[in-house]
Structure 1
């Protein structure tokens, strides 16, 4: 069966360095037919030029602080059968599209979402989740190595994450894409609810994985400290007006206030916020709730691309190389990894110290994965604090942990 063509939309505003890391990962996907669409401001255009990707990445100029409008601009420029989304502060595993697009072999699947790993590159920020009419999300149990098609009960939807999701282009266009009333927060959740209401099915694809780092923005600092909660309040109220019976609003709004207050107080406790910053953020939350725009009627269909598809020539050969050694060889291993990455190989570096330190994974330019940690330390956070085993056995365990998301064929180096 021929793989569907995929348009990847990445929105970036005032984060050129993050965009470069994201595009580095997207330029090394193991997938036969995809294009990259960057909806970005002038700083992003410069970053793309500096990477030598001018003319290879489709650039849609956009410099407005509205994630929904920006994504819609990307959708209208897309020429693929499928439109996939990733944030600029995320990087994709090499087989991300291979797994995510594979879900659409089922003709009943209109949307798909994958798992999202967090800042340490190992723990998950989000797995499978559902959402109810208040916008509250809840976990869903699925098998973690196969795609699962879910049909939620009335009033609920399967939640996909904006940094790791894909939809059939024709469905997106017909539904009007993302609602611009959601400048930030709940934008994809609103789309999930509209998909469910229209009877479309969503697949959760655990092996379609990205790593999400939470870069700084107008709403949060690099250390994730809150700057502004206005859009959280405005989007929450817009969502309730669109999807939730009014009788349920007070309970949900109280829960929202408590959630955000607890979040802010935790940041104050950790020294990230001053008391005045907490009070200001809570005032902005209330201001957003009070000044939220009312959702309009059904969205008008988007105008689609007439068929122009800018196929990206992936730099990945499909060959994977493992490099492993003790931590004191890390610099040498990274040098070798960079050379191999320049040749188009997918490279994983494992550098173990004789300790019980927790493991972490980082994506490094020009495009390789570095896992560091103690030979006796845990990687998955549910493991015992102390892992017993020899170097070779530990390496086998860690390579097996990422094999299904990172490579198809493999060569090893020691």
Structure 2
């Protein structure tokens, strides 16, 4: 399949800066030709004006991720529809890996690795889920246990369009939370094939939103409660529902107590948050499931980028050179040149990777420190040896040549 078969849908509310960074990342995908559909609130629409004419931009007046995704599906012209969150950024080879997987004509949907805030550790790996919403870690190369289906992570999933034409879209009674899990169960129970694509890598930042702070302290649990009730009414039996609700309340209470011990919450805030969870559970019981079949786009396919970006440039240096390296990275990115920057300090500090607001990838940490968290805490390297090792490590997903241009 070709990039012209792929539409990427991004839903955004309350995170304009993150949305802009997400689109910068999408603009650096290794091969041009994908379509990008953005469904955003007013602030998000303003943030992406630099991409005007290159994206399909829709308004999201009321926050509802399922309704927004369905609107994006209807506007998209591609035969493959991928979804990524506004606070996430794909590795440059992400679309290539997704499209290669769909060269299997029997495949209906895929998902792949989601890396966490340090840009290295796995946030979500291969998981299966059942009708109670219980997750199970799985070997992606082994059969999935009876009663479980492959979980499709909302920030990194893709479907053939005809899946939605057959099963309907995302359930609009789920405004946030479990919407992707519901879709995964519907796909699995319909007997459609899904796959784990190890090369389709996304970085997910867990940015602040109307529901949580930057450090993941919840501001409301209402939507978690409401979507849980809708989900359970569709996929669980009566006796099971009561047990799952009790487990949910206990888990959220434990979560809040842990935050309170870290001085992130007080008793009154904890009480209000638990009330919001219970209010949501009650509200969700009154909601009618709604999975409309999104209409097919009547508009033409709009390529986001029409020319393949050049091969990435590698910059490297030490902390005292960082300001100058940032200026050089900014200059290159402004001229359409993707950049991977490596900054090594003479310590055993653990490494982190991020896609910056300026539009370049940056890895920083100790020259003698671990990258993968399972590695030895102290390692001996020369600067050049460490750089070569790190370039080789990410070359497959970043689109770097192991012995490519380094500066």
TM-score (norm 2): 0.95
SS at match of 2:48: helix
Question: 2-side partners of 1:199 and 1:297: how far apart?
Answer: 21
Select 1:103's aligned residue among 77, 101, 104: 101
1:10-52 CA-to-partner distances (Å, cap 9, x unmatched) read 0111221111111111111112421111101121121111x2x
Query: 1:106 and 1:215, CA in 2 relative to 1: closer, same or farther beyond 3 A?
Result: same
Query: 1:294 and 1:102, CA in 2 relative to 1: closer, same or farther beyond 3 A?
Result: farther
Q: Which residue matches 1:54?
A: 52
Query: What's the offset of the Cα at 1:130?
Result: 0.6
Q: Which residue matches 1:412?
A: 405
SS at match of 1:208: coil
Q: Which residue matches 2:386?
A: 394
- Conserved in 1, the CA contact under 8 Å of 2:138 and 2:144? no
Question: 2-side partners of 1:15 and 1:214: how far apart?
Answer: 11
Asked if residue 230 in structure 1 is aligned to residue 237 in structure 2, the reply is no
1:56-95 matched pairs, under 5 angstroms: 56-95=54-93
Q: Which residue matches 1:37?
A: 37
TM-score (norm 1): 0.93
Of 342-351 and 307-316, deviating more is 307-316
1:102-129 CA-to-partner distances (Å, cap 9, x unmatched) read 1101111110111111111111211111
- Conserved in 2, the CA contact under 8 Å of 1:322 and 1:347? yes
SS at match of 1:251: helix
Q: Which residue matches 1:202?
A: 194
Q: Which residue matches 1:357?
A: 349
1:336-351 matched pairs, under 5 angstroms: 336-351=328-343
Question: 2-side partners of 1:176 and 1:10: how far apart?
Answer: 19
Select 1:261's aligned residue among 229, 246, 253: 253
Question: 2-side partners of 1:203 and 1:241: how far apart?
Answer: 27
Q: Which residue matches 1:145?
A: none
Query: What's the offset of the Cα at 1:177?
Result: 1.1
Question: 2-side partners of 1:178 and 1:233: how far apart?
Answer: 18
Query: What's the offset of the Cα at 1:67?
Result: 0.6
SS at match of 2:380: coil
Question: 2-side partners of 1:74 and 1:216: how far apart?
Answer: 23
Q: Which residue matches 1:333?
A: 325
- Conserved in 2, the CA contact under 8 Å of 1:117 and 1:209? yes
Select 1:369's aligned residue among 347, 361, 365: 361
Q: Which residue matches 2:23?
A: 23
Where structure 1 has 5 or more consecutive residues not aligned to the other structure, the ranges are 143-147
Query: What's the offset of the Cα at 1:296?
Result: 4.2
Select 1:288's aligned residue among 264, 270, 280: 280
- Conserved in 1, the CA contact under 8 Å of 2:67 and 2:172? yes
Of 289-298 and 175-184, deviating more is 289-298
Q: CA RMSD in A?
A: 1.9
Query: What's the offset of the Cα at 1:162?
Result: 0.7
1:150-172 CA-to-partner distances (Å, cap 9, x unmatched) read 76455321101111111011212
- Conserved in 1, the CA contact under 8 Å of 2:7 and 2:82? yes
Q: Which residue matches 1:172?
A: 164
Question: 2-side partners of 1:251 and 1:378: how far apart?
Answer: 42
SS at match of 2:223: helix
Query: 1:123 and 1:48, CA in 2 relative to 1: closer, same or farther beyond 3 A?
Result: same
Query: What's the offset of the Cα at 1:250?
Result: 2.7
Query: What's the offset of the Cα at 1:228?
Result: 0.5
Query: 1:393 and 1:166, CA in 2 relative to 1: closer, same or farther beyond 3 A?
Result: same
Query: What's the offset of the Cα at 1:247?
Result: 2.4
Query: What's the offset of the Cα at 1:343?
Result: 3.1
Question: 2-side partners of 1:156 and 1:205: how far apart?
Answer: 19
User: Which structure shows the bigger proportion of residues in strand conformation?
Assistant: 1
1:210-255 CA-to-partner distances (Å, cap 9, x unmatched) read 1111121121112211111011111112111101122222322222
SS at match of 1:190: helix
